[in-house]
Chain A
Amino acid sequence: MPIQYYIYLCLALFSIGIIGVLTRRNAIIVFMCIELMLNAVNLLLVAFSKMHHGAAIAVNPASQTGVEGQLFVFFIMVVAAAEVSVGLAIIVMLFRNTHSVDINFLNRLKN
């Protein structure tokens, strides 16, 4: 499988995530789009890790190259989980105070 395909796919997912962040007003959905971006990155990292692995075992069949990429994905998931807990807590807190999760209403702070 050529690496480009994976890159295109991941970039597309990533960009869809960005577009979501830019176009949606619901804080939760925005946050979900960010998660989508992270997932795109994860897939890309795995693809790259397999790419490097493929290149490495051609030289040395016992090579473990590529493990770090997949472990990175693991750490991203860890961080994402932590972030989600904090993020949702913040959103809930805001909702408690304002009864809204619309980011467009967040304009007490400007200029």
Chain B
Amino acid sequence: MDTIQILFYALTVVALFSAIMVLVSKNPVHSVLWLIGVFFAISGHYILLNAQFLAIVNLIVYAGAIMVLFLFVIMLMNLNNQSEPQKHIWIKLAGAIAGGCFLMVLVSLVRQAVDLEHKSVLVGTGDIGLIRNLGKALFSDFVVPFEISSVLFLSAMVGAVVIGKKD
């Protein structure tokens, strides 16, 4: 078992554990914090995969910006663990079972996929995740979606203003 594998397993455990903690935490603030944990673990995975750009962006955008926004909102609303009454246990159970089934079904699907058997992921090496390469592709082949996503931002901006504005 080399370092990469150890790191992989460690990050995986952290990610899964944090993810589970996101759902079981009663306090929303804790959930947010655990979710940031997940993001960090995932960023670790990115680094493992030599996708440095995404690793950084993930940290900045997700953990930094988005989660802080969440945190703001939660603070703003002053939500604490009392504010969420317990759901019926059977609803939780049904949700867990449904999610579990989903996982089970997809996993068994992957297990049957013959064509994946000898495929492996290039870990540690490979330079496509570097900013230079990504940037080149983004501003040549993917310039149209890049521009179009500005429309998305525009609409999100207008929307946030429309919704958030007091009238």
A residues sitting closer than 8 Å to B (CB atoms) are 1-9, 11-26, 28-29, 31-33, 35-36, 39, 42-43, 46-47, 49-51, 53-55, 57, 64-68, 70-71, 73-75, 77-86, 88-93, 95, 100-102, 104
Contacts and interface: CB of A to CB of B under 8 A. Distances in A.
A71 B142 contact: yes
A50 B149 CA distance: 25
A39 B39 contact: yes
Interface string B45-67: 11001110110011001100110
A6 B121 contact: yes
A12 B145 CA distance: 30
Given A46-B54, A47-B49, A53-B126, 13 more contacts: A9-B12, A19-B95, A19-B99, A24-B87, A32-B70, A47-B121, A55-B119, A70-B54, A70-B129, A71-B134, A80-B61, A85-B157, A85-B160
Nearest to A66: B128
Given A70-B129, A74-B54, A89 B163 contact: yes
A73 B138 CA distance: 12
19 contacts: A11-B106, A13-B16, A14-B103, A19-B98, A20-B22, A23-B23, A23-B92, A32-B22, A50-B122, A54-B120, A64-B128, A66-B128, A71-B137, A74-B53, A75-B145, A81-B61, A82-B156, A88-B69, A89-B159
Given A32-B70, A36-B35, A16 B163 contact: no
Main secondary structure of the interface of B (DSSP, over half): helix
Contacts of A31: 70
B110 interface: yes
Q: Which of B12, B15, B28, B53 has the most CB of A within 10 A?
A: B15
Given A86-B163, A102-B84, A23 B22 contact: no
A43 B43 CA distance: 9
Given A13-B16, A42-B58, A92 B110 contact: no
A12 B12 CA distance: 10
Interface in B92-118: 92, 94-96, 98-100, 102-103, 106-107, 110-111, 116
